[in-house]
Each structure stands twice: as structure tokens, then as C-alpha cells.
Amino acid sequence: MGRFDLRVIAGALALTVFLLPDMGSAQLRQNYYATICPNVNVEKIVRDTVTKKFEQTFVTVPGTLRLFFHDCMVQGCDASAIIQSTPNNQAEKDYPDNLSLAGDGFDTVIKAKAAIDAIPSCRNKVSCADILTIATRDVINLAGGPSYAVELGRLDGLSSTAASVRGRLPQPTFNLDQLNALLNPLGLSQDDIIALSAAHSVGFSHCDKFSNRIYSFSPSNPVDPTLNKTYARDLQGMCPRNVDPRIAINMDPNTPKTFDNMYYKNLKQGKGLFTSDQILYTDPRSRPRVEAWAADNAAFQRAFVAAITRLGRIGVKTGKNGNIRRDCAAFN
């Protein structure tokens, strides 16, 4: 999660050129590989791989989901976040905010790619970017969330630099204005942001990402007053001062392994882990949507599917701007 500053505004032109949904997203369509890999059910192969990983570890869910978010928000949905650094290039995954991306997310995509490429008629025909998109849908569904048709047809990106991540990812400390300023230019509305934030219904966070809210919020209020007092004490118990930085806790204290609208119910009780979570309820501009989705899981799921579909259209690579990577972690 990169730091937001005026350089985002200064780079607005570049952001528009490289990230906004553009003509590239027009090539996306459902069942894209039906003619490219005839007699091969690409989505089933990915699903089988994801299911096997899911059965091995639940971290597959937040790991894959977070990898998709971090990939799409930097240079678009092009699997550039999967590229390994080399002696001559520090890749996106080694930017500080990406160091906490779980290895299980990367492993899921790489294993699904290997399973597809094991079929001669489909070898080197399915992009890593599309595999990540399919896998993201599948982990959401395996965790109890909606299943939905995915738009496919992305090429893999040709560049990946740590420097490109700076200022492109939302921070845990963001308020609603900062979230909108960063994400609206990508084609995501405020409602999309509120819906996508519910990805925090699953997964975990390291203590240092929210420790300011429970120990040093302000001189007059060491604990963030918007935090539920009991929840704050629980967090202090799980994350004492000077805790091992490798310690992580569930982001959803109630249903941490279920993708559902409990996220919004938690916000109503002051149990949003990050400032960027709780602000969605404390800010009167976003509160009505939180209240609506807390009361209606089906409405939330519809909104989430629409939002993550729009997220998947950001910065789609076509033609000479991309290719089908043979190894998801290395350029051809």
C-alpha cells in the first residue's frame, strides 16, 4: 500500500494514459478462451488448482484476492505484480507495501499456469493476468462469496518496477477523500470503493498497520475514539507494544474465513480494523451504503461483483503493449 501524496496529482496524465479503462478493456469478454483453447475448459483447470490450494491453506483466499488488487491498481491488471526482481530491476513485488503479499497468492497463479500449459493445445495461450482474474473469482466463491462470470482477454505486462507502485495503493490511514482521490481516476466510484473494501472480510493484517489506532492516535486520545472500546482492548491484547512484526491478526473478528457482509456490520459496531475501514461508517457520505449492505447481503454481493469487474478492466494490455508470459514470474 503506497504512500499517497501530491505526486499522484502531478502524475495524473500518466495515470490516465496507462491505467484508466481504455480501448484495451473492449477486447475483454466472457468465455474468451473457448475458441483459443478449443475442447479445453480453462476456467475449470484454474478452479481445480485453486480448490486444491484452498484445501491446503485458507491463506490462498486473501493472498490471491490481495494480489489481484495490488496488481490492478499499479499499471493495470497485467500480472506485473508477480514478476520477480533481477539484479538489474527491482520489481513491484519488492516495493515495501508489497512485501506482505502472501506467497500463496503467487503460488496459486503459477500452479494454475503450469496445469494449463501441461495441455499441448493450450500451452502459452492463456495469460497470467487472466489466470489471476479467474483465481480471484474462485477464492471469493470458495470462501462463501458470490460466483460470477469473468471477463477475459488480457495480455501480460512488459514492465514491473518497484518505483511504479509509489502513490498507487490505498493506505490504512486514508480517509474517504483520499480513497476517492486515488481510486476515482481509475474508473471506480465511491460505491465501488465501499464494496471492494469488504475484501477485508477475509484475511489478516500485521499489527504495525493499525497500532497507531490503539496506542498513539493523538495526544488527547491514545486510542482512536471511533474504535469499539472492547475491540480496542482485544487488539491491544493481541498486539502489545513492541510486538513481533510478523504477528498478524484476523481483519474480521467475527467471521474471518467467510466472505460476507459481516464487514459492514462490524463497521456499525466500531470494529473496522483500519482507519480506511471505519471511515466508511463515520463519514456521513458513505454511511448510508454501509448500513444498506449490512442489512442486505445479496445487494452487497451484486455491488461487489460489479465493482470487481470494473477493477478488472483497469489498464488492460493489448497488441504490442503485452504478451503471453511463459513464466508468470519472469518476462519472456
Enzyme catalytic residues: 70
46 belongs to an annotated ligand binding site: no
| Residues in CB range of 316: below 8 A, 6 or more apart | 21, 22, 24, 25, 27, 28, 76, 77, 78, 153, 154, 155
- In 104-217, the DSSP E strands lie at 204-206
256 belongs to an annotated ligand binding site: no
272 belongs to an annotated ligand binding site: no
252 belongs to an annotated ligand binding site: yes
Say which DSSP state 188 is in.
Answer: -
Q: Are 31 and 42 in contact (CB under 8 A)?
A: no
Alpha carbons 138 and 1: distance in angstroms, whole number: 24
Give the residue carrying C-alpha cell 503460488. Answer: 107
117 belongs to an annotated ligand binding site: no
290 belongs to an annotated ligand binding site: no
230 belongs to an annotated ligand binding site: no
206 belongs to an annotated ligand binding site: no
Count CB-CB contacts under 10 A for residue 287: 16
Q: Find the length of the chain.
A: 332
Residue by residue, DSSP assigns 5-63 as -HHHHHTHHHHHHHHS--GGGGG-BTTTHHHHSTT--HHHHHHHHHHHHHHH-TTHHHH
H-helix or E-strand spanning residue 249: strand 248-250
H-helix or E-strand spanning residue 306: helix 297-311
92 belongs to an annotated ligand binding site: yes
11 belongs to an annotated ligand binding site: no
| Residues in CB range of 110: below 8 A, 6 or more apart | 82, 328, 329
200 belongs to an annotated ligand binding site: yes
- Three cell numbers at 247? 504477528
| Residues in CB range of 79: below 8 A, 6 or more apart | 71, 109, 127, 128, 129, 131, 132, 156, 157, 325, 328
Alpha carbons 98 and 250: distance in angstroms, whole number: 19
- Per the annotation, binding residues are 71, 74, 76, 78, 80, 92, 170, 200, 252, 255, 260
- Per the annotation, binding residues for substrate are 170
- Per the annotation, binding residues for heme b are 200
- Per the annotation, binding residues for Ca(2+) are 71, 74, 76, 78, 80, 92, 252, 255, 260
